Structure 1
Amino acid sequence: MRELLRTNDTVRLSFLRVLLRDAGIEAVVLDQHMSVLEGSAAAIPRRLMVVEADEARARQVLSEAGESTGGPL
C-alpha cells in the first residue's frame, strides 16, 4: 500500500475516495477509528492509501481534480 496523503478533513477524504472510485481505483482510509483512542481531538491524521500499482494513476486523477497530494506524480 502507498500513502497518497494525510488529513484530518473527513469531508475531503470522502471526496477524494469518490474521485478515485469513479476512476476505477480502490482507496482505503487508515487510522479513521483512532478518534476513540485520542479522545476525538482529531490529533491523528487519517491516511488515504492505494495499492502500489495504482499510485501514479491515483496521483494523476487527484491532480487533475485540483487536489494536491504533496507527493511526486
Structure 2
Amino acid sequence: MKELIRTNDAVVLSFAESLMKDAGIASLIADQGMSILEGSLGLLPRRFLVAEEDADAARRILIDAGLEAELRP
C-alpha cells in the first residue's frame, strides 16, 4: 500500500475516498482506531492508502480534484 495523504481533516479523507470509489480504485484510511488512544481529540493524523499499482492514477485524480497540497511526497 502507498500512502498518499496524511491528515486530521475528515472532510479531505472522505472526499479522497469518494474520488477513489468513483474511479474504481480501492483505498484504505488507516489509523482510524487511534482515536481510542488519543481520547477522540483528533490529534493523530489518519493515512490515506491505495495499492502500489494504483498510486499513480490515484495521485492524478487527487491533483485534478484540487488536493495537490494534501499529497505526500
The verdict on a shared fold, with TM-score over 0.5 as the criterion, is yes
Structure 2 SS opposite 1:4: strand
**Shift in Å, 1:24:** 1.0
Please show how residues 6-21 of structure 1 align to structure 2 within 5 Å: 6-21=6-21
Q: For 2:72 and 2:4, how far apart are their aligned partners in 1?
A: 8
| Aligned match of 1:33 | 33
Report the structure, 1 or 2, having the larger helix content. Answer: 2
1:29-58 CA-partner distances (Å, limit 9, x unpaired): 000110111111212100000000000000
* AA aligned opposite 1:49: L
**Shift in Å, 1:70:** 3.6
| Aligned match of 2:42 | 42
Structure 2 SS opposite 1:22: helix
Percent identity over paired residues: 49
Query: 2:6–2:72: 8 Å Cα contact kept in structure 1?
Result: no
Q: For 1:36 and 1:11, how far apart are their aligned partners in 2?
A: 20
* AA aligned opposite 1:31: D
* Unmatched tracts of structure 1, length 5 or more: none
Structure 1 moving runs of 4+ over 2 Å: none
Q: How many residues end up aligned between the 2 structures?
A: 71
* Unmatched tracts of structure 2, length 5 or more: none
